[in-house]
Amino acid sequence: MRQLLIVDDQSILADDLADMLPWEEAGVDVVHKAYSGPEAIGLLHEHAIDVVITDIRMPGMTGLELIQEIKQNWKHTKCILLSGYSDFEYTKQALKLKSSDYLLKPASDDELLTSVRRAIKELEQEWLEISSMQRAMYSLREQLPKLREYLLLDMLSGKQSLSPQRLSKKLAAYSVPFQENDDFHVMLLRIDDGDHLYDDGESEALIDYALANIAEEVFGDQLDMWHCKDSNGFIVCLLKAKAGSTIPGDLDEWIESHAFQLQHVVKSYLKVGISILTSKRGAFPQEVCPLYQTSITNFRQFIGSEQELFVSLAKEPTRGTPQLLGELYRPPSVLQMLELGQWDAAGEKLEAIFREIEEEWRGSQEHVLEAYFSIAATLAALAHKNKKWLSDMIGEDFHAFANGSPIHKVDDLRAWTARTIASYRKSVNSEDKDSRSSIIRKVQEYIHNHLEQASLHSISAHVYLNPSYLSKIYKTETGEGISEYLLRARMEKSADLLAQTDEKIYEISVMLGYQKPSYFIQLFKKHFGITPQEYRNKVTN
């Protein structure tokens, strides 16, 4: 997929160029717009841009300064200068920065399309040369790469037990630029539809080498890379910063952005999708085997059979003893709140769950999944209880849920939850127009707000219906009687009070409308299987 970025401080011109020209004729699939140099840099960080068309004279950052920044960080992105000035000095600077073209305003549509078409062709030729099978075949005949590969495979398996001195000598002899105590990352690459490629008659070794060669081109300006292919079919790469590298900002974020670029280039030029996982930082050589084994485990857990995914373990916490998410299971539950239409309270509870994952578990993917599947199950239960299909209630978001597509980040979970609950709420609000559904909700709200004095008589008076008629429609709509729902609500509230407060058991009994504590204890034991005191001892211990 080819992507074009148009940069001009005159928004009307940028919009016209983006929207009015048939860019697909030049091989462009997606067109982005920016109205300043800094905005363009932001888009380059977010998208794998192939060609940039920029005006020269812009406030803040000129087009020439923008191109200079692009050449430093995205050296394969092609740049076309567009200017109303024919000054030779501009032309000289454009040539110095290796711009693909220099067009004078007003440029015709044909000139622009031809220039972009030419730039894309140059880009394709560059990547074809990098990934060419002839170059790969020639390199494969050389023995040194194989010696490096065998040494790395031994280290990954833990079989390599050379002394530090002997290992150092071997690394030097094989021209491997790694030294003791170097910081490094493990990167796993998997070709997702390799069987299709190999069926076309291509050698598996050549395809793998072409992929590794492209990876070296993408990362090679700033990082040293040492790679091999393991017995699981992964291309395993060790990455470390070159001496004197000038990576701006956080290294983990730089690796992440270039991993996305690698996926884009491989898809465009090898016509194949890849999945990528990058590890936390480790110390060479003692952590090579442990980080590799952890990466394999996490690849299977978080990517599995899914295709063209990227996972970074850089921000994962060091594993301690896992525990349940306290807020997720602390009553009242999200299900109860949504069931009662307590939207604000449910939103606050969900945000507390997300904060717990972020602050106490540092965004742990396992805790994200724990919350994700619990919320999804809650929504499914509510939909079915209301005699609705969940797919009808939450729309497009149902497909991610039904297909089991994992959500890895708290922000993704937060966004997914907000969308699905908004869809559920919209469906419920529409459903409230039905009088029976509205009555059921009023009954449940009254019960939860008046647990001490709630009775069939007081409830029926609240909704202005005959008690026997109310009992009948409630049973028909919910499948349980009002007395059963009232008992369940009181028992759940009592469990909450026993766990969260120091109130005496007889005090809790009175608070819930039971004047005789012995009767309350009898009901509690029948409901939970243990006495209130046994329950309190259990949860407090």
Q: Give dist(CA 377, CA 330) in Å, integer.
A: 17
Q: Is residue 14 part of a domain?
A: yes
The answer on 341 and 378 residing in a single domain is: yes
Q: Is residue 81 included in any domain, yes or no?
A: yes
Instruction: Tell me which of 312, 342, 359 is where a domain ends.
Output: 312
pLDDT given for residue 195 in this prediction: 59
Give 510's contacts (C-beta < 8 A, 6+ positions apart).
Answer: 452
| Domain assignment of residue 286, yes or no | yes
Helices 343-360, 365-385: crossing angle, 10 deg rounding: 160
Three state DSSP letters for 232-281 = CCCEEEEEEECCCCCCCCCHHHHHHHHHHHHHHHHHHHCCCCEEEEEEEE
- 203 in the same domain as 59: no
CA distance 298 to 277: 8
Question: Domain check: are 58 and 191 in the same one?
Answer: no
- Residues 404, 439 within the same domain: no
Do 148 and 280 lie in a common domain? yes
DSSP-derived letter for residue 351 is H
Q: Which secondary-structure segment (H or E) carries 52? A: strand 51-55
60, 95, 130 - which closes a domain: 130
Check which CATH number belongs to the domain holding 188 and give it. Answer: 3.30.70.270
Within 361-455, residue ranges assigned H as helices are: 365-385, 390-394, 397-402, 410-431, 435-449
CATH code for position 505: 1.10.10.60
User: What's the domain count of the chain?
Assistant: 4
**What sign results for the dihedral spanned by CA atoms 396, 402, 403, 404?**
positive
Residue 454, domain member (yes or no): yes
pLDDT tens sequence for the chain (541 residues): 899 999 999 999 899 999 999 999 999 999 999 999 999 999 999 999 999 999 888 898 988 889 889 988 898 899 998 877 665 566 667 666 677 788 887 888 999 999 999 999 999 988 888 776 556 556 545 677 888 899 999 999 887 667 888 899 889 888 899 999 999 999 999 998 755 555 554 567 788 888 989 999 999 989 999 999 998 889 999 999 998 888 877 888 899 999 999 999 999 888 889 999 999 999 999 999 999 998 998 887 778 777 888 999 886 545 567 788 889 988 888 998 988 888 999 999 999 999 998 888 877 778 888 999 899 899 899 888 877 888 887 777 776 555 655 677 788 899 989 998 998 888 777 665 556 778 898 999 999 999 989 999 999 999 888 988 899 989 988 899 999 999 999 999 999 999 999 999 999 999 999 999 999 999 999 999 999 999 999 988 7
CA distances from 222 to 225, 246, 281, 283, 485 (A): 10, 7, 16, 18, 64
- Could you tell me the residue range of the domain that residue 163 belongs to? 140-312
Residues 304, 357: one domain? Answer: no
328's tokens: 């997720």
Asked if residue 238 and residue 99 are part of one domain, the reply reads: no
Q: What is the CATH number of the domain that holds 9?
A: 3.40.50.2300
Nearest to 168 by CA among 153, 180, 151: 180
- Is residue 212 located within the same domain as residue 241? yes
Of 312, 341, 357, the residue that ends a domain is 312
